[in-house]
Structure 1
Amino acid sequence: MLPKFFLGANYWSRVSNIQMWRDWNEKAIEDDLRKAGSIGLNSLRIFLLTKDFSDEKGNLTREGREKLKFFVKTASTYKIYVFPSFIVGHMSGKNWPIPWDPDNSIYDPDAIEKTTRFVSQVVNTLKNYDNLGGWILSNEISNVRKPKSPEEFRSWLRTLYLTIKKLDPERPVSIGDSVSYTSDEYLMPENVTNIVDYLSPHLYLYDFDPVRHTMSYASVIEYGRSLGKDVILEEFGYPTSLYDEESHAGFIEVVLSSALMLGAKGAFVWCFSDFPREEDEPYLWEPHELRFGLLRHDGSEKPAAKVIKKFSEFLNEIGELKFLERRAAIIVPEYMYRSFPFHNMPRNCEMRALMEAYTQAKGSSILITFVREEASDEELLRYKLIFIPSISRLKTTTWRKLLRWVERGGILYYSHSRYATWPHMSASHIWEELFGIKPSLKAGLVGEFIERIELNFSKDVYPFKRGEKITYVNKKWEIITSSFKPVDAEILATSDGEPALFLVKRGKGYSIFSKYPFELILSWTDRLDRVGEGYHRLYVAAKALSGIDSLFSCYDPRIEVEYARLDEGFLVSLINHSYDKVITSLIAPKGSEVEWVKWGEIKDSKEREIKIIIRPKSSMFLKFK
């Protein structure tokens, strides 16, 4: 029986590193596997460094076959599932030779034919082992050679995927490259979702804001899950030669907790251990690659290994999780994953805006997902609340579709964005119909530059009181806006005396419009006072207007609240994405009762309000009857 969650690591031998297949040491490998099992890992991703496994025709060598069989058989002794990665040309900062493809012509017919031969022979060698967890086509093949187009990449992927499925139809297959909305177009989830069995983000994200930093990992997982596809976070981690070991452990705890509670099928830390051999390539010029491990180079456990152990024990204590339907969504513009003629908007900015929007939604205790522009009218009716966060444009048909959705009772939030570098465009064409406003920018002007916004509420709008303010400081000169004036929209807030935030009723629903791209501005801000300024309260206001009710909520913007049904009751996680010790309150349903608590502390409990204490960059779990 497969584990409910593949709690894994990317594996090279602690003793022999990338050279493990050449410098073969069965005792060292068995010691590693024993240790992996003892700290709670139930799966390992391994890498077939192709120079050590194949001849120039793509045949699997006899020696390579025997080593693979030894590894998988020995792993089964310690109840570890193995996920082999076939084409390993790129690894840890170096492109290694592929014997059957010396020119790295990866996507050409002759190269594909030989690759297919190699893959088929590996599958036939290992497919009868019960602890073979799945097949991974490559290790970041795009670092060896990028495809000329998404179509070329999909053709390569489809050929290899079908080759494996013909030989082993039951086990899952992934690309082994970072399928994520942070990736290039050919690796966007929408473009490969029908040719893989699970989406496989490889994430090494960086940010100045600690809250958004780890919330972004959660957003990538939810983005993939929103396509109805399984997700395994195939790589994530940081080197402890750069970051302290305690924060490294906290990071892993937070990401694993989010992954579990968002319904991911697993997560593989990069990587199992540090390495002692400093003189080997590529460590010679990539010293950080020596120190990503859960174990130190001498085999001792880092704090992160203890996180793995307690997470493994926790997985054994909980039953099957049943996830609740999301009634709120962030819209994904189609140009994020499909090219349009002469459409060259800064995709990186829009991606950052999606991350910030997800962070604010989670800080508002909204169970949120993502929805694409192509969604039909009926599909949109699943949602009561839709956010369009600092998106520079949508298709004309999408705006019209959203108007119909609002008229049927939806709540739409749009924060408008514009770029000084791309002045010749308009985000929408139905401003008055959908938002009750009209443009007032003078002809030929680039727009209004934004330096500082002091959003001043001109009336009570829950949770704001009249006169309350939020301050934003724009750090990117190219992020600008346009001016708008109301037609029949109500002005909710101003900045410098000018209308800034509008509300209008359309049919049974409402549209909220901001002339400022709040999410985009915040995404480039290096120091955010999320608690003091309370940026997330705009999302709380939209949630209140929509009537969406959270069963469990906590309105501290540093805390992600997730919950899922168990056979009896609920499992609730509170995940602290900050490096602050947080004392806050969880609001639970009336009459609910806490059965147990893991990893955090309940300070006090009164009716529906439970006061909790959460350590920096950590998580806590509560079981409710």
Structure 2
Amino acid sequence: MKLGRITLNGNYLAKNGKRFIPIGAHWVPAKAALQWTKDWDPEDIKKDFIKMKDLGFNVVRFDLFWAWFEPHPGCYNPQACAQLDYLIELAHMYEIYLHPTFFIGGEVGEAFWDVPWRQGRHPHEDPEMLRLQTNHVSYFTKKYRGETAILAWDLTDEPPFWIVWGKTTDAMAVNWTRLLSWAIRRQDPDSLLCVGTSMEDLDHGPFRPDTVAEEADFLSSHPYPIYTLDRFADPLLSERSSYCGSFQAALSRGAGRPLMIHEYGASSAQYDPERIGLYDRVLMYSGLANGVMGFMPWCFTDASPETCKRLPYLRAPHETQFGITAWDRKDRPAGREVRNFAKVLAALDLESVEPKKGDAALIVPFEWAKVHGDLGALGLNESNSIPYTSVQDVHRTPESDYEENLWLTGSLLSAYILAKRAGMQVDMPREQNDWMSYPVVVLPSPLTATDRNLTHLHTDFWERAESYVKNGGVLYASFCADAAIPEMEKLFGARLADHEPVESVKITFLRDFGGLKKGQTLAYKIAEKPEHWPVTVCLEGGTVIAEDEKGRPALILNRLGKGMTLMCTYPIESYLAQTPAAFENPENVEISHLIYEALAKEAGITLSARSSCPSVEIGVLGSGKRGYLIAVNRSFNEKNATLDIGFGIKNLSVVGSASEQGTLTHKDGKWSLSIKGWDGIVLEWNT
């Protein structure tokens, strides 16, 4: 059977016009491993495809090693092309699309797979290297133009190339992406392409979503909380770690393109295989709930015992057992989860279904998103005859960028989880784009700060924020010692007075507020950094909802026009970000999100869909007459959750679940769901 042509249809891919969600893995064979082109074994590869079919794959991602396919500049290896032809033959035979990634560069552990004629040149900067790379992608897209087995071309895996990590600028990333994408589209304008980035979004790398979105048809992320412990100081199987995939999806999708998760998982040499399976399960169901368009874990199989005796596996023990299958093709728990998830995905009818717009907007600063050095949209014009030079731009270092981004993304992650626990659908629009149509806007510190450009909103944002609130918007903001907002009295009902170093805080509610009761308390430990110090304020008409142990305002509610604001004088999201296992602590995790929830209740906002259990996430796909709810339980215990659906539905039914043990009931006009620990369930609704 010949595979149908792939097109992009809204948030999802379509084959022969019918939407579907790609599910597969990154393929590296067990025995030949990364030398599969040299140790060519067509029968063994065919057995891998048979196993992929058994697992429910409809796509497989793999590497096109530059030195093998182009051993000399401009000289293409006919043997390599014949091998790719064979993979295309298998793709049609087993109905598994191919998602090849060019050049590859870095893959497995410390390995960088170079070309012998690079001669130390920077592949993202050197003009000759750029010419050769554009010629390379042009050659293959011309040769395989119209080949329906190819899902999309991936410009490369995990750029920037590992050999020049830390030496690649935003400008290099933009130019490289433009040149290669233009070369592809000149040869095959109908082909789809992406840039297979890893954690460039979370780490604010040069290939972050906003620098490549203009050229890519869809974006990529590789959520690995185990490799970003500076923001995920938690067990693998924990609430914060399990949100890594959907948080990156929201952060990337805010750049205006759909997102596919190209890699995820963990090594059975480091973690219990059953825990890995549960982690992967929750990541997939939560990703589906948050609009992810495809899933490909790393990787298809473990390395064989002989493979473990040579580089790069010899130096990277963790890489030896990342497979969703063992090296003898037996299922690992992660493989079982892929098979079950593939069955659920196959049962979905995605016609006219799109991810539902968020209830809350978590704003990403313009300065974070924009290309470094670009001063457009910053108020300068041709009448400025005296050159403007940013001292911060001149003196920025990788270390300063890291610290600023860590501060920002850690706080955004905390706010994202709190909003999710409060039952909100969360989007992450950019500061310069449309955010005023969202019912709730969430601005955790340092968005309200002033010192470091990367971390905060522009001065003119607050004028728009005032208009937003007057017209019925609901805005939450937290503050730290670095805060600065001009003429904030009208918006927040208070003005800044000073700041004060503290080591801890106990916040006590002075009145009932949403689900919070008078006398309830929140307690946080505070790091000895100015970005964690609270602000002190002078009231200017706002109502104090809660105070600290010294009687100073901690939460201030202010009504303005048709809307309202809630000001938190303590940067609680930053406190959670710097606290290991913060969301595993019942003292805070069961209360902190209630601040967000209470604000929505106080404002009378109807949320799209939420559960009565904060640890059970509810995602919404679709609008109008039909769609899906996806429930994800982020706890070890079975939960019995009442579903509060904010739009009228007539019918709700179970499509499928990971454990196949969840139950749905309808009584007295209310829907209730029983869901096992670390489980996911897909429900179909219609009106």
Report TM bin, short chain: over 0.9
CA distance in 1, matches of 2:153, 2:338: 23
Residue number in structure 2 paired with 1:101: 118
1:314-329, aligned counterparts within 5 Å?
314-320=344-350, 321-329=353-361
CA distance in 2, matches of 1:591, 1:68: 49
CA distance in 2, matches of 1:109, 1:189: 24
Compute the displacement of 1:605 (Å): 4.4
Instruction: Report the AA paired with residue 105 of structure 1.
Output: H
Change beyond 3 A, Cα 1:551–1:158? closer
Deviations 1:354-382 (A, max 9, x none): 1111111111111121122213xxx3331
Residue number in structure 2 paired with 1:444: none
Instruction: Report the AA paired with residue 472 of structure 1.
Output: Y
CA distance in 2, matches of 1:434, 1:103: 55
- The SS at the match of 1:6 is coil
1:424-435, aligned counterparts within 5 Å?
425-435=482-492
Deviations 1:250-309 (A, max 9, x none): 111112112223222212110000011111210000011111111011211011111111
Instruction: Report the AA paired with residue 382 of structure 1.
Output: S
Q: 315-324 or 18-27, which moves further after superposition?
A: 315-324
Residue number in structure 2 paired with 1:582: 639
Residue 64 (structure 1) aligned with residue 94 (structure 2): no
CA distance in 1, matches of 2:490, 2:218: 41
- From 89, 97, 103, the counterpart of 1:81: 97
- From 293, 307, 310, the counterpart of 2:323: 293
Residue number in structure 1 paired with 2:611: 554
Q: CA RMSD in A?
A: 2.2
CA distance in 1, matches of 2:265, 2:205: 24
Instruction: Report the AA paired with residue 69 of structure 2.
Output: F
Q: TM-score, normalised by structure 2?
A: 0.85
1:499-578, aligned counterparts within 5 Å?
499-527=553-581, 528-529=583-584, 532=587, 533-565=590-622, 569-578=626-635
Compute the displacement of 1:70 (Å): 0.8
- The SS at the match of 2:173 is helix
- From 211, 214, 220, the counterpart of 1:200: 220
Residue 389 (structure 1) aligned with residue 421 (structure 2): no
Compute the displacement of 1:499 (Å): 1.0
Change beyond 3 A, Cα 1:81–1:157? same
Compute the displacement of 1:102 (Å): 3.3
On the 8 A contact 2:196/2:219 being kept in 1, the answer is no
The number of equivalent residue pairs is 611
On the 8 A contact 1:10/1:268 being kept in 2, the answer is yes
CA distance in 2, matches of 1:61, 1:476: 59
Residue number in structure 2 paired with 1:13: 29
Change beyond 3 A, Cα 1:100–1:81? farther
- The SS at the match of 1:510 is strand
Q: Could you list the runs of 5+ residues in structure 1 that have no partner in the other structure?
A: 419-424, 442-446
Residue number in structure 2 paired with 1:226: 254
- From 449, 456, 480, the counterpart of 2:501: 449
Compute the displacement of 1:566 (Å): 7.7
Residue number in structure 1 paired with 2:383: none
**Percent of aligned pairs with the same residue?**
24
Residue number in structure 1 paired with 2:288: 260
CA distance in 2, matches of 1:591, 1:123: 47
Compute the displacement of 1:154 (Å): 0.7
- From 141, 145, 156, the counterpart of 1:123: 141
- The SS at the match of 2:363 is strand
Residue 32 (structure 1) aligned with residue 90 (structure 2): no
Residue number in structure 2 paired with 1:178: 198
On the 8 A contact 2:138/2:183 being kept in 1, the answer is yes
On the 8 A contact 2:200/2:206 being kept in 1, the answer is no
Compute the displacement of 1:523 (Å): 1.4
- From 410, 414, 422, the counterpart of 2:477: 414
1:301-450, aligned counterparts within 5 Å?
301-320=331-350, 321-338=353-370, 339=372, 341-343=390-392, 346-375=404-433, 379-391=434-446, 392=449, 393-418=456-481, 425-441=482-498, 447-450=499-502
Residue 616 (structure 1) aligned with residue 634 (structure 2): no
Compute the displacement of 1:153 (Å): 1.7
Compute the displacement of 1:351 (Å): 0.3
- The SS at the match of 1:483 is strand
- From 309, 312, 324, the counterpart of 1:279: 309
On the 8 A contact 2:617/2:631 being kept in 1, the answer is yes
Residue number in structure 2 paired with 1:145: 164
On the 8 A contact 1:456/1:469 being kept in 2, the answer is yes
CA distance in 1, matches of 2:207, 2:135: 24
On the 8 A contact 1:177/1:200 being kept in 2, the answer is yes
Instruction: Report the AA paired with residue 413 of structure 1.
Output: Y
CA distance in 1, matches of 2:500, 2:74: 60
- The SS at the match of 1:511 is strand
Instruction: Report the AA paired with residue 436 of structure 2.
Output: L
Change beyond 3 A, Cα 1:580–1:451? farther
Deviations 1:194-240 (A, max 9, x none): 12111111221232341121213101112222333111111112111
Compute the displacement of 1:417 (Å): 2.6
Compute the displacement of 1:342 (Å): 4.2
Q: 584-593 or 131-140, which moves further after superposition?
A: 584-593
Instruction: Report the AA paired with residue 29 of structure 1.
Output: I
On the 8 A contact 1:388/1:413 being kept in 2, the answer is yes
Compute the displacement of 1:148 (Å): 4.1
CA distance in 2, matches of 1:551, 1:90: 42
Instruction: Report the AA paired with residue 240 of structure 2.
Output: R
On the 8 A contact 2:325/2:331 being kept in 1, the answer is yes
Compute the displacement of 1:322 (Å): 3.3
Q: TM-score, normalised by structure 1?
A: 0.93
Change beyond 3 A, Cα 1:123–1:179? farther
Instruction: Report the AA paired with residue 113 of structure 1.
Output: R
